[in-house]
């Protein structure tokens, strides 16, 4: 067990719930720490259901291509806890992270607090002590009561596409969930909004009007489309003709467009066109339609096959993945085999229904160490209920070995999906953790 693991084990005992949305406990701790949230670099705040991490990746790549120093706070991590904190381009060291987490633990003095709240406080200590030009702050869950929502005046607030997820915490309708996401909007701060269902957009627009927050809405105030293999972005300031995003899938054009629109909406940032070009080519975000070219698990797959990884886990995420797979199939036809693990809190049938007619076979696996996982057989039953041919195996290794025994011709396209926790297991077992 690493020092960080030991600290996290102690912190878990401080609150009976893993998730308990509130700002009171964090504000108390931040006050005890000298209010580091008031000493941060300028912040771009990002909320939404799907696409937050990819949008942050594009923001980071563009800003760094312009020569700016960028801090990043994201969650969850895939393999190492340090992945949540990037200081001016580099993941925080074990020593530095353990130091600020212990400092937060002492200041908290055994008071009730969730792990995400104290982790956010640790991040704000780190970010306040290291110079940077911009801090990219990704919401953990929701927005209104998320621990990141202690910033009074960010440079911009971004809301990616809103859909049904985390209904136990955010509400059982699109309107309720959108209201929670819209909680990050701030008075007179530009809000950059992805294309939304009309029910969600009405809620966001109503909140923006109350706050006098100017909005830029995808499809109305800016567009980002694929044309002849390039990304064409247009808004009132003009047109950018850019390379296709490095992150694969047509949904990434939308995420890239959000990032571009946000940066162009911030008066203090005057980025050259070359930064947007380089950002499209350099953006990197693991476990989002990520091709795995090598590694231990890849070596178990049939020779000549493709291995892909995506942490998508809700119906809208599944639609985006399925569209990307359909595009791949149109380019190079291969039999598709899914390896899927999911949590009991997710809409298993809604997610898997996107792959009927695409996947030749599905192999379900458990998600060890996750909170409330579905058993592999329960995931397989879910697939069978909607007409997907499915079996189950006890591990990723056994699943890849089972694909080999299918003896498919041509060699298959294998996608591991259904959970970010499972995606982390894949990267760990494959020997290719995020850098």
Residue 295 CA to residue 63 CA, distance in Å, equals 31
In tens, the pLDDT along 65-120 reads: 999 999 999 999 999 999 999 999 999 999 999 999 999 999 999 999 999 999 99
The DSSP code for 249 is: S
Residue 288 CA to residue 51 CA, distance in Å, equals 9
What's the rounded mean pLDDT across residues 251-279? 96
Residue 195 CA to residue 157 CA, distance in Å, equals 15
Q: Are residues 181 and 301 in the same domain?
A: no
**Number of domains forming the structure of the chain:** 2
Does residue 170 carry a pLDDT above 90? Answer: no
> Which of the two residues, 169 and 172, has the higher pLDDT score?
172
DSSP 67-106: T--EEEE----SS-GGGGEEETTEEPPHHHHHHHHHHHHH
What's the rounded mean pLDDT across residues 166-178? 84
Q: Are residues 307 and 166 in the same domain?
A: no
pLDDT of residue 17: 75
Does residue 169 carry a pLDDT above 80? Answer: no
Residue 359 CA to residue 357 CA, distance in Å, equals 6
Q: Are residues 88 and 139 in the same domain?
A: yes
Residue 105 CA to residue 86 CA, distance in Å, equals 21
Q: How many CA atoms lie within 13 A of 258 on its CB side?
A: 31
Q: Are residues 271 and 310 in the same domain?
A: no
The DSSP code for 369 is: T
Residue 173 lies in a domain: yes
Q: Are residues 309 and 326 in the same domain?
A: yes
Does residue 164 carry a pLDDT above 90? Answer: no
Q: Is 23 helix (H, G, I), strand (E, B) or coil?
A: coil
Q: What CATH number did the domain enclosing 108 receive?
A: 3.40.1190.10
How does residue 21 score in pLDDT terms, banded at 50, 70 and 90?
Answer: confident
Q: Are residues 167 and 107 in the same domain?
A: yes
Q: Which of 289, 292, 349 lies closest to 320 in space, CA to CA?
A: 289
> Which of the two residues, 368 and 231, has the higher pLDDT score?
231
Tell me whether strands 230-235 and 222-227 are parallel, antiparallel or unpaired: antiparallel
Residue 29 CA to residue 22 CA, distance in Å, equals 13
Task: Find out whether 203 and 178 touch, Cβ atoms under 8 Å.
Answer: yes
The DSSP code for 119 is: H
pLDDT of residue 15: 82
Does residue 274 carry a pLDDT above 90? Answer: yes
How does residue 153 score in pLDDT terms, banded at 50, 70 and 90?
Answer: very high
Q: Are residues 108 and 170 in the same domain?
A: yes
What's the rounded mean pLDDT across residues 28-42? 98
Q: Name the least confident of 21-25, 192-196, 231-235.
A: 21-25
Q: Are residues 251 and 329 in the same domain?
A: no
Last residue of a domain, one of 236, 264, 282: 282
pLDDT of residue 2: 83
Q: Are residues 106 and 238 in the same domain?
A: yes
Structure tokens at 220: 């109305």
Residue with token string 């005046």: 153
For the beta carbon of residue 14, count every other beta carbon within 10 angstroms. Answer: 17
Residues 89-95: contacts with CB under 8 Å, at least 24 apart: 89/64, 91/435, 92/126, 94/2, 94/3, 94/4
b/e per residue 127-144 (b: at least 16 CB within 10 A) = bbeeebbbbbbbbbbbbb
What's the rounded mean pLDDT across residues 171-195? 95
Does residue 20 carry a pLDDT above 90? Answer: no
The DSSP code for 346 is: S
Residue 310 lies in a domain: yes
In tens, the pLDDT along 294-311 reads: 999 999 999 999 999 999
How does residue 171 score in pLDDT terms, banded at 50, 70 and 90?
Answer: confident
Last residue of a domain, one of 219, 247, 282: 282
For the beta carbon of residue 20, count every other beta carbon within 10 angstroms. Answer: 15
Residue 258 lies in a domain: yes
Q: Are residues 65 and 121 in the same domain?
A: yes
Residue 435 lies in a domain: no
Q: What CATH number did the domain enclosing 337 receive?
A: 3.90.190.20
Q: What angle do CA 124, 126, 129 make, to 5 degrees?
A: 105
Q: Are residues 242 and 353 in the same domain?
A: no
Q: Are residues 318 and 259 in the same domain?
A: no
Residue 258 CA to residue 136 CA, distance in Å, equals 14
Host domain of residue 213 = 3-282
Structure tokens at 196: 């939304």
Last residue of a domain, one of 282, 309, 328: 282
């Amino acid at each position: 067990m690493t020092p960080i693991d030991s600290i996290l084990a102690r912190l878990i005992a401080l609150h009976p719930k893993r998730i308990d949305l509130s700002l009171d406990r964090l504000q108390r701790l931040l006050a005890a720490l000298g209010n580091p949230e008031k000493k941060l670099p300028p912040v771009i705040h990002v909320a939404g259901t799907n696409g937050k991490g990819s949008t942050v990746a594009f923001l980071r790549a563009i800003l760094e291509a312009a020569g700016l120093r960028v801090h990043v706070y994201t969650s969850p991590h895939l393999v190492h806890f340090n992945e949540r904190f990037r200081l001016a381009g580099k993941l925080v060291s074990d020593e530095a992270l353990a130091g600020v987490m212990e400092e937060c633990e002492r200041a908290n003095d055994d008071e009730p607090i969730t792990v995400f709240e104290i982790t956010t406080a640790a991040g704000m200590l780190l970010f306040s002590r290291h110079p940077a030009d911009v801090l990219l702050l990704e919401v953990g869950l929701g927005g209104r009561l998320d621990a990141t929502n202690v910033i009074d005046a960010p440079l911009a607030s971004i809301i990616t596409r809103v859909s049904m997820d985390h209904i136990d915490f955010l509400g059982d309708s699109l309107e309720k969930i959108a209201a929670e996401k819209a909680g990050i909007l701030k008075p007179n701060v530009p809000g950059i909004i992805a294309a939304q269902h009309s029910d969600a957009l009405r809620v966001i627009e109503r909140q923006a009007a109350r706050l006098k927050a100017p909005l830029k809405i995808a499809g109305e105030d800016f567009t980002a489309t694929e044309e002849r293999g390039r990304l064409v972005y247009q808004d009132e300031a003009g047109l950018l003709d850019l390379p296709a995003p490095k992150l694969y899938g047509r949904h990434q054009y939308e995420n890239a467009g959000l990032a571009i629109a946000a940066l162009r909406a911030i008066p203090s940032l005057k980025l050259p066109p070359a930064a947007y070009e380089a950002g499209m080519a350099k953006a990197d975000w693991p476990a989002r339609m990520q091709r795995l070219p090598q590694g231990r698990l890849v070596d178990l797959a049939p020779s000549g096959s493709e291995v892909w990884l995506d942490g998508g886990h809700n119906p809208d995420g599944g639609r985006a993945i399925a569209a990307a797979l359909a595009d791949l199939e149109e380019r190079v036809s291969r039999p598709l085999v899914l390896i899927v693990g999911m949590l009991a809190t997710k809409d298993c049938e809604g997610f898997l229904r996107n792959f009927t007619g695409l996947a030749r076979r599905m192999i379900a696996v458990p998600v060890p160490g996750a909170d409330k996982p579905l058993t592999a057989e329960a995931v397989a039953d879910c697939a069978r209920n909607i007409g997907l041919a499915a079996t189950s195996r006890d591990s990723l290794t056994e699943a890849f070995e089972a694909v080999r025994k299918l003896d498919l011709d041509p060699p298959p396209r294998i996608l591991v999906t259904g959970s970010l926790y499972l995606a982390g297991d894949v990267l760990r077992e494959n020997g290719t953790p995020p850098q």
